[in-house]
Amino acid sequence: MGLISNGTTIFDAGAMSLGGGMSFMKKLTASSSATLSFVSGSGGVDFTSHKEYVFTFNNIHPSANDGLFQMNVSIDSGSNYNVAKTTTHFRAYHFESGDSGLGYQAGDDLAQGTGVQVLINSEMGNDNDQNCGGTLHLFNPSSTTFVKHFISNINYTTANDTSTQCFVAGYANTTSAVDAIQFSMSSGNIDAGVICLYGIN
């Protein structure tokens, strides 16, 4: 017998449902990749089917020491990644030696900038055990009425052995549909790691 609350089945035959979920769309695995791109209409990616999307970053490892993980968006299926963005960026960090801090990173936000948005603002290490992991949420990219908000939360190991967590949020200032997102490093390649895309029901 199932457990029903307010007309919604919560448990049924041992399975749990909360009335929503994540729909897997695409997984990209880096292998010395200059870029990893998710383009609507390609390989199962559809930026028109949901109101929210989540990218998960797992074991993203750079080929070069001191690289910055970054992203940009497109409104022409990836022909150009140059949409104006206004963003904010802050971070918390803790050295293995014990020093720590929290602060706004004015040099890594954008004010109508069309270039890449830095998602981690201090140099990631490329030691064999160094990497980053986190998420990026993108809201209603197919809207032709509103700007497109996004929020990123990533933890990573820097080249000087610091645990750093970067928080980036902002909006792509366009009323055209965003139909592609590209990830890259500021120097070198994405040597290894996995990025997955999910639609939120």
| Model pTM score | 0.88
pLDDT at position 2 is 58
Residues 179, 169: Cα–Cα separation, whole Å: 19
Residue 35 domain-assigned?
yes
Residue 9 domain-assigned?
no
Residue 75 domain-assigned?
yes
- The predicted-structure confidence for 181-191, as pLDDT tens digits, reads as follows 999 999 999 99
The stretch 82-103 carries a mean pLDDT of: 95
Q: Which residues pair with 28 in a beta bridge?
A: 195
Please give the structure tokens belonging to residue 45: 């990616």
Confidence of residue 67 (pLDDT cuts 50, 70, 90): confident
Distance of CA 73 to the CA centre of its chain: 11
Residue 79 domain-assigned?
yes
Residue 102 domain-assigned?
yes
DSSP 8-state assignment for residue 56: E
Residues 1, 10: Cα–Cα separation, whole Å: 11
Q: How many CA atoms lie within 13 A of 136 on its CB side?
A: 27
DSSP 8-state assignment for residue 19: S
The stretch 52-73 carries a mean pLDDT of: 95
pLDDT at position 113 is 98
Q: What is the average pLDDT score of the chain?
A: 91
Domain extent, residue 100, equals: 22-200
Residue 14 domain-assigned?
no
* CATH classification of the domain holding 91: 2.60.120
Residues 188, 165: Cα–Cα separation, whole Å: 22
Q: Is 89 exposed, middle or buried (0-12, 13-18, 19+ CB in 10 A)?
A: buried
Residues 179, 49: Cα–Cα separation, whole Å: 12
Residue 66 domain-assigned?
yes
Give percent of the chain with pLDDT exceeding 90: 82
Q: Which residues pair with 38 in a beta bridge?
A: 181
162, amino acid identity: T
Residue 1 domain-assigned?
no
pLDDT at position 48 is 97
- The predicted-structure confidence for 8-44, as pLDDT tens digits, reads as follows 554 555 554 455 689 999 999 999 999 999 999 999 9
Name the 3-class secondary structure at 48: coil
**CA torsion 160→163→169→172, rounded to 10°?**
50
The domain tally of the chain equals 1
- Decide the pairing of beta strands 111-113 and 100-104: unpaired
